C-alpha cells in the first residue's frame, strides 16, 4: 500500500490486521471485507465466525487416510463399495476433492498433508508417510494391491514419490503414477515444451 493508513477506529484496524493475515488478501482487500462485514446483520457475522471456529476446533482426521472427516473414519474409507486395495496418495484434501469430482476413481486415498520440501523445512516425518507404510503392510497379499502416486509433477512431488517408492518397494505392492502428457483438447501450439517433449517421448499406441 503506497500510503500510510489512517484508521478511524482501533477495532477496525484490528479486524483488518486479522483479515489481512489470510493468504492472498492484501490490506486494501482486508479493509473492504471488514467494511462489508460491518454492514451485514449481526447474526450473519456470528454465523461466519462460528463456522470458522467450529471447523478449526472440531476438525478430525480420518484414522485410515488422514483426510479431514466429521467422524473417526471418513465417508470414503467407510464406504464398503469402494476398492480398499487401491490407495491413491495425494498431498492435500483439495486433491481428493479434485479426483472425486472426476467420478473416475473408486479406490481409497491417503492424504500426506504436504510434500517433502527441504527449503520449507518439511521432511518425511512431517507427513503421514509412516502411516501409509503401516496401511500397506497390513494389506493381505500386497502383490495384488496398488498404490497410485498422485503428486504434483515438480521436483518436490517427484522427490516425495521417489522417497515413498523406496519405502514401499519391499512390500511388493504395485506402484503406479498419474499419466502425464498433453491435456485432452490441448492445442500443441500453446503447450509448454517440457510437457510436449515428454508427450512425444512417452507416446502410446494409437487407438483408432
Which strands, in side-by-side order, build the sheet including 83-90? 107-111, 83-90, 146-149, 174-177
Minimum distance from residue 32 beta carbon to its own copies (Å): 7
Determine, following the binding rule CB under 8 A, whether residue 152 of this chain makes contact with its own copies.
no
**DSSP H or E segment with residue 33:** helix 27-39
**H helix intervals, the chain:** 10-19, 27-39, 42-58, 93-102, 129-138, 155-168, 193-201
The grid coordinates of residue 51 equal 463456522
Closer to its own copies by Cβ: residue 1 or 204: 1
Determine, following the binding rule CB under 8 A, whether residue 100 of this chain makes contact with its own copies.
yes
Determine, following the binding rule CB under 8 A, whether residue 63 of this chain makes contact with its own copies.
no
Minimum distance from residue 8 beta carbon to its own copies (Å): 5
Closer to its own copies by Cβ: residue 89 or 96: 96
Closer to its own copies by Cβ: residue 14 or 165: 14
Minimum distance from residue 12 beta carbon to its own copies (Å): 6
Determine, following the binding rule CB under 8 A, whether residue 94 of this chain makes contact with its own copies.
yes
The grid coordinates of residue 162 equal 521417489
Determine, following the binding rule CB under 8 A, whether residue 120 of this chain makes contact with its own copies.
no
CA distance 77 to 67: 10
Amino acid at each position: 500500500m503506497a500510503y500510510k493508513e489512517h484508521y478511524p477506529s482501533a477495532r477496525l484496524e484490528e479486524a483488518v490486521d486479522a483479515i489481512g493475515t489470510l493468504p492472498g488478501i492484501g490490506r486494501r482487500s482486508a479493509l473492504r471485507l471488514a467494511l462489508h462485514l460491518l454492514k451485514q446483520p449481526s447474526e450473519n457475522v456470528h454465523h461466519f465466525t462460528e463456522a470458522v471456529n467450529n471447523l478449526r476446533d472440531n476438525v478430525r482426521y480420518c484414522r485410515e487416510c488422514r483426510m479431514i472427516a466429521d467422524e473417526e473414519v471418513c465417508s470414503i474409507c467407510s464406504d464398503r463399495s469402494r476398492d480398499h486395495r487401491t490407495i491413491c496418495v495425494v498431498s492435500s484434501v483439495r486433491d481428493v476433492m479434485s479426483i472425486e469430482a472426476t467420478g473416475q476413481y473408486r479406490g481409497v486415498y491417503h492424504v500426506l498433508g504436504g510434500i517433502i520440501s527441504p527449503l520449507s523445512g518439511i521432511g518425511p516425518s512431517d507427513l503421514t508417510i509412516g502411516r501409509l507404510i503401516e496401511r500397506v503392510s497390513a494389506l493381505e497379499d500386497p502383490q495384488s494391491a496398488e498404490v497410485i502416486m498422485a503428486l504434483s509433477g515438480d521436483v518436490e512431488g517427484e522427490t516425495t514419490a521417489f522417497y515413498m517408492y523406496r519405502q514401499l518397494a519391499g512390500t511388493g505392492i504395485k506402484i503406479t503414477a498419474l499419466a502425464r502428457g498433453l491435456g485432452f483438447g490441448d492445442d500443441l501450439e500453446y503447450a509448454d515444451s517440457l510437457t510436449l517433449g515428454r508427450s512425444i517421448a512417452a507416446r502410446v499406441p494409437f487407438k483408432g
